Structure 1
């Protein structure tokens, strides 16, 4: 392989590129058009991020639950907390709002004051019947007040469903058609029909309507993701172009670079469409990521071109050297960056796997585009004038390099002491890190819908559905009084948990049947006795509301399985694990495991379990990235000792970042888990450039270590500084996001890359100087597998000959 990555190979590549410029540009255009047509296949995710593998037992349990009871997240709730609602005009308008929503084909049914049904006992003949709660559609003020008192004081069955026990809050439950919940029709209904209808009501009546429920939250959350893609791309292009122009002071160099990365962004969208992957909160960051990673490629290529022009002024020779010298090093650095992302492919999480595939493909694609577009465009342009080359001799950047050299030359002990102190402090900080699996934590907390979530958490004790599936292991076992009593005991147990809302199940329905039997007296809202069950339970089985059998909401068709639904507050993984640990022994005591099978499931629980799964896989993923890059280092330098020297400056920044997370209270969660593999894959690029130049200088200087280290520091320090600054500000773009996870990702990667730059420019040379006897000899640094940066003497004549042919 070294044969193909040596000078001859890259010389052939350069000759092919520069001799077939028009054909290559046509091919790039054709590929861009083809991938542009794939954009139509892009679709946005309409489901929550499922971080668990498809065959994970938790996922299988959830699928079993859906098979029996259908989609759980089809409920949207509207609420008003205002005494003005209980005036005749507003009361009627509120009921008409529910009626209007009920008419939409996307809505299966609504449950609210408008269509509330009461179970009523009749004497002649003796029977139960459902009767409307509202007797008059245009009530007087006295009637409205009577309705309010009856609702809040005499109908405990509807507590949490139609009204809140905390205050005079009234809500309407809107159940969407389960077939459209995970499709684009849900988004169209919420954005184009639901929200305008609610806004019309608010403006007409002067009342504030709070809206929540998973379909609503998911729709607005995904809309925020869509809106931020354009924001990220625009911000990334703006900030990277400004930094690029500041360094190069050349409009045409800036424009060429922007053209390159814009084509890369178009390819990124095309790859997403070609693979039919959904755009999620992770894949949405890939296009701006390509800009941030692509610009350093442009910096290396254009910087080298201008350096060559400054040396000899021969354009053909300069372009030839850009490809042969920088192409090799840039390929390897892009391979290491892609490796950091590619490790996600080996996880069993579909979300991370798709992110890893698309990111790694497009990182290699932006390398190819940079290598092709930049030399070809420059070949059609005039040779850069002196004003374009002034940046190569900036005083301030030379002052920065002088400072680095002074530190390495005179303060190596200080560098080592600071590194050890940082290491110890980081390890202490790591032990302070918490794990968070909150589904709502990373949502935009300044958004209006998030304020509504907070309202419902306060009024209704949570918005995240948590389901308990009860298998009685025999048909019609649910409706046995002994089973109902066990379920009632479990509900009492769950009500004791402050983080959970009062659960709802068939038990509530049976209690309501007994209350109705005793003429609606709320004191009898309880399970029937053994004597009462024979004449009350049959009525409960036929209880209907709004023409829909409520029994099927809580019990499957065989009567063997029952569901118990509670809602969970926005708590993290650790707190949920503590609740589970406390509940399961008590649940198993209530429901003996030899007679009942109890499962806890729901979207919130799946997300939290997925976070735990990812944390466990983080070590595997990061270890794999380190292992792959260590192998690459060993192969490039043919030295095991060089692996240790190259990894230390890149592992320390990761530990420092992890320690910062502990001290700053930033938890480990799906978004921050990505930081380490991404940052490691990118930061190791600087190490490759430095060590490659270091080995070249060693050979040229006759194995004089000090001279070689300082020469490599001066030669590569400027490019490393430029690219690190671009990466720092480029990833900082993500901090403008309204998603907490994206903000954390951008800030942590930026900080890690800044630490990595300083580590590679100070700690790495200090290690090379201090360990010169162990590694700076011909036995350790033998002829490398490839010459990453070929020396002038290695290919100068050949280049002259090739350049003369062009």
Structure 2
């Protein structure tokens, strides 16, 4: 070994020895200054508590992507010109036979009138509504004297059933009515409520600058501003509570009209049954259901932690003080988040659970050590001994856990980075509480030692004795048959590897909520009868005024839309663009033709030349300017094609979007010739979500690799030799292989939430290994031989390892009742990782040390 390496090792060794001395002095210091310490932490708690009222939770796309992300800026551009793509779809089933009955349509009109009245009331939650579309108020073009007129399809007065039978024929003859306002068998109807969520410009002195965007979109009437290719307005991000208030008011109105939603347990109505879906409703659903359930889960987690501590230590103070420390660390963390004005997502729930379960580990190690040494020592010497023995390992375990958490900062997703920092702060706060606050609290009230009833002498508690018997079994097994144990764990790792080819990285919106809440059933029904509630938006920028008034362009848009419907009917249910409006207007101007259902007018087409097209568009814009704004801007420079699609998994969406990109290049790329300013792109909820999924998948794997490398380096530096480093890492690779293998064999998809398990698990799993090896190296340094060192280590730290792993596993299993399936999978996989890590540290690691841990010189050991 060269001189430089030895110097580095001596430096680390000196640093560890100094830290051990510091840990030995802390209990006495904290005991003497306990009231000052308690006063400091009380003041800290009060100060940080002021931030709790400023906590913000937001699930919108604006939160998930950096403000300068090109795809987010594209989405803002789309919303600026064409309005929000967030809408609510209400599918209703009349008490009668079908939609086209007078009584049914009267009830639809009454509801629509009420909603229109509510949306213009001051401070109404329904003020977000921009338009309501039903078969009663659907836009209907008709020609008269060579001009076009737009009217409501049915209008103010609902006719009798006889006339409605004729109106029904006309409705079915309209190409865009079936599947939009009523089902193809007219058994179900639909109400589409358009909103302005995400489409309001945020009031700001300076427009947000795009990061490298190349699209020439103007957002000002100022000519100079039009030339600035990167000016983008900062669009308002909706407050999640707005969604909740909106949905609550909407459901209130529906209930007042005696409409019932059977999926939420309401009895079937004699008036109208309905299902509801769409972006605002989904946001409200998750906020209502999950926040309610997460409150219950947090309470249950605390309860189970208290029960576990009670079973383990049979002492009220041993239950109270660790629980107080983690509760305070949660308050400090959440308060700091609020004071820092950081917006969180629903992942804040995982932050709290990690804080509760991981944060308590350090306190449990100290109290377990204190209880162990208190059998032979008085209280204060026992506490000092516990900090001397566990101080270094607690620090190193916290360091490696932080390395696992902070590896997530490489993920280019804002909420993941915020989660990593917040979770790390929580764990660091719990560590600080354990080092400084716990000894002060134990100085006031410490657990007493168990005593033998007959002799009165101090002995271990009943549960502790049972744990020690189990540890005795482990010692006998690992030293009698170490090679068999190594072979057994190796076989399990190989079997786990066979599950890797079966692993699926996929996010499925419909599968995110467990059955019984009407979520999946609602969206499958909406997909079946009305073609879904999600869109892919294609934005076309011609780069010049009146650029959309071009037959070649409209024919290309038409061909693209028809290609999408023809080749991917499993995805695309309907397409909407300026082409639909042009064909409808042209049909009316040239002669309606056949109106019988199943037939189509020969004039339902794009005019043959640009001059005729301009005339049609002029008349159409005069007749229905509000509808025109949905398809083209005021300068006729920018247009959109909406592909309405059904809900699918991210894996399927990726393939579909790749096809869309191919169609765009095939039909729109040729139009760039002679027009350098012509551009196009796909945006909307689905492309944004797929971009997020791609980022998450790649980055989570990268962050796991980074965590593994950083932790491995820490292990090599601390334990000094490559052999020890490898021995230290093998028990930590084992739980990762097992966990990922289980996901493959159990067909659990790795989505954005469950992928968090890998970097977090490696950071947590290594904790017990550090506790074990730190004690083991200390025993070697004290002069014990290898086998005695293993035995002593198992007796002293094995008990705490079991306690903390049980608490961690139980804490994560709290997620099992969650409505949100990815959280449930996250909890289950985390529990599998932690429990398998425990078995690896109790059996695999001692067996490895028994066979391969022979060393002539103790390197990097500390007393």
Question: What TM-score comes out, normalization by structure 1 length?
Answer: 0.90
Distance 2:407 2:174 in 1: 56
Within the candidate set 630, 647, 656, 1:579 is matched to 656
Quick check: 1:276 aligned with 2:341? Answer: yes
Aligned to 2:111: 97
User: 1:502 Cα shift?
Assistant: 1.2
Within the candidate set 736, 746, 749, 1:654 is matched to 736
Within the candidate set 690, 699, 703, 2:781 is matched to 699
Would the aligned equivalents of 1:429 and 1:661 in 2 still touch at CA under 8 Å? yes
- Relative to structure 2, which stretch is displaced further, 377-386 or 102-111? 377-386
Aligned to 1:326: 390
- Aligned partner of residue 143 in structure 2, secondary structure: strand
- Aligned partner of residue 539 in structure 2, secondary structure: strand
Aligned to 2:51: 38
Q: CA offsets per residue over residues 492-524 of structure 1, 9 Å max, x none?
A: 111131122211111111122123222374422
Aligned to 1:134: 154
User: 1:734 Cα shift?
Assistant: 1.2
Would the aligned equivalents of 2:344 and 2:419 in 1 still touch at CA under 8 Å? no
CA separation of 1:385 and 1:694: change in aligned 2, threshold 3 A: closer
Aligned to 1:783: 860
Quick check: 1:251 aligned with 2:316? Answer: yes
Distance 2:61 2:273 in 1: 28
User: 1:483 Cα shift?
Assistant: 1.2
- Relative to structure 2, which stretch is displaced further, 447-456 or 290-299? 447-456
- Relative to structure 2, which stretch is displaced further, 498-507 or 220-229? 220-229
Would the aligned equivalents of 2:373 and 2:382 in 1 still touch at CA under 8 Å? yes
Within the candidate set 711, 718, 742, 1:636 is matched to 718
Aligned to 1:10: 23
- Relative to structure 2, which stretch is displaced further, 534-543 or 610-619? 534-543
User: 1:173 Cα shift?
Assistant: 1.3
User: 1:684 Cα shift?
Assistant: 0.3
User: 1:25 Cα shift?
Assistant: 1.0
User: 1:237 Cα shift?
Assistant: 0.6
Aligned to 1:526: 604
Q: How does 1:401-480 map to 2 (within 5 A)?
A: 401-480=471-550
- Relative to structure 2, which stretch is displaced further, 386-395 or 10-19? 386-395
User: 1:92 Cα shift?
Assistant: 1.0
Aligned to 1:376: 440
Larger helix fraction of residues: 1
User: 1:648 Cα shift?
Assistant: 1.1
CA separation of 1:533 and 1:66: change in aligned 2, threshold 3 A: closer
CA separation of 1:135 and 1:715: change in aligned 2, threshold 3 A: closer
Within the candidate set 128, 131, 142, 1:120 is matched to 142
Quick check: 1:58 aligned with 2:140? Answer: no
- Aligned partner of residue 814 in structure 2, secondary structure: helix
User: 1:145 Cα shift?
Assistant: 3.7
User: 1:416 Cα shift?
Assistant: 2.6
- Relative to structure 2, which stretch is displaced further, 154-163 or 101-110? 154-163
Aligned to 1:78: 90
Distance 1:428 1:368 in 2: 42
User: 1:480 Cα shift?
Assistant: 1.4
User: 1:135 Cα shift?
Assistant: 4.9
User: 1:330 Cα shift?
Assistant: 1.6
CA separation of 1:528 and 1:383: change in aligned 2, threshold 3 A: closer
Would the aligned equivalents of 2:556 and 2:668 in 1 still touch at CA under 8 Å? yes
CA separation of 1:383 and 1:102: change in aligned 2, threshold 3 A: closer
CA separation of 1:772 and 1:8: change in aligned 2, threshold 3 A: closer
- Aligned partner of residue 134 in structure 1, secondary structure: coil
Q: CA offsets per residue over residues 695-718 of structure 1, 9 Å max, x none?
A: 12222345x222222332333222
Quick check: 1:541 aligned with 2:621? Answer: yes
Q: How does 1:407-806 map to 2 (within 5 A)?
A: 407-496=477-566, 497=568, 498-517=570-589, 518-519=591-592, 521-522=594-595, 523-524=600-601, 526-530=604-608, 533=613, 535-544=615-624, 549-593=626-670, 594-595=672-673, 597-702=679-784, 704-773=785-854, 776-778=855-857, 781-784=858-861, 787=862, 790=863
- Aligned partner of residue 527 in structure 1, secondary structure: coil
Aligned to 2:279: 214
Distance 2:19 2:519 in 1: 58
CA separation of 1:221 and 1:450: change in aligned 2, threshold 3 A: farther
Distance 1:721 1:557 in 2: 69
- Aligned partner of residue 303 in structure 1, secondary structure: helix
Distance 1:248 1:49 in 2: 47
Would the aligned equivalents of 1:265 and 1:287 in 2 still touch at CA under 8 Å? yes
Quick check: 1:299 aligned with 2:321? Answer: no
Q: CA offsets per residue over residues 78-120 of structure 1, 9 Å max, x none?
A: 1113435544333212111111112214122211133223211
- Relative to structure 2, which stretch is displaced further, 157-166 or 258-267? 157-166
Q: CA offsets per residue over residues 666-689 of structure 1, 9 Å max, x none?
A: 122101110011111011011101
RMSD of aligned residue pairs (Cα, Å): 2.5
Distance 1:763 1:166 in 2: 65
User: 1:12 Cα shift?
Assistant: 4.2
CA separation of 1:284 and 1:502: change in aligned 2, threshold 3 A: same
Within the candidate set 114, 117, 132, 1:110 is matched to 132
Aligned to 2:9: none
Q: How many aligned positions are there?
A: 773
CA separation of 1:208 and 1:541: change in aligned 2, threshold 3 A: same
Distance 1:373 1:116 in 2: 67
CA separation of 1:238 and 1:101: change in aligned 2, threshold 3 A: same
Would the aligned equivalents of 1:229 and 1:285 in 2 still touch at CA under 8 Å? no
Q: CA offsets per residue over residues 568-617 of structure 1, 9 Å max, x none?
A: 32322322222233443343222235445332221222112221222211
Aligned to 1:344: 408
Would the aligned equivalents of 1:95 and 1:113 in 2 still touch at CA under 8 Å? no
Q: How does 1:302-313 map to 2 (within 5 A)?
A: 302-312=367-377
Q: How does 1:153-164 map to 2 (within 5 A)?
A: 153-164=172-183
- Aligned partner of residue 172 in structure 1, secondary structure: strand
CA separation of 1:681 and 1:166: change in aligned 2, threshold 3 A: farther
Aligned to 1:398: 468
Would the aligned equivalents of 2:754 and 2:825 in 1 still touch at CA under 8 Å? yes
User: 1:660 Cα shift?
Assistant: 1.3
User: 1:466 Cα shift?
Assistant: 1.3
User: 1:690 Cα shift?
Assistant: 0.8
Aligned to 2:218: none
Aligned to 1:798: none
Distance 1:499 1:260 in 2: 52
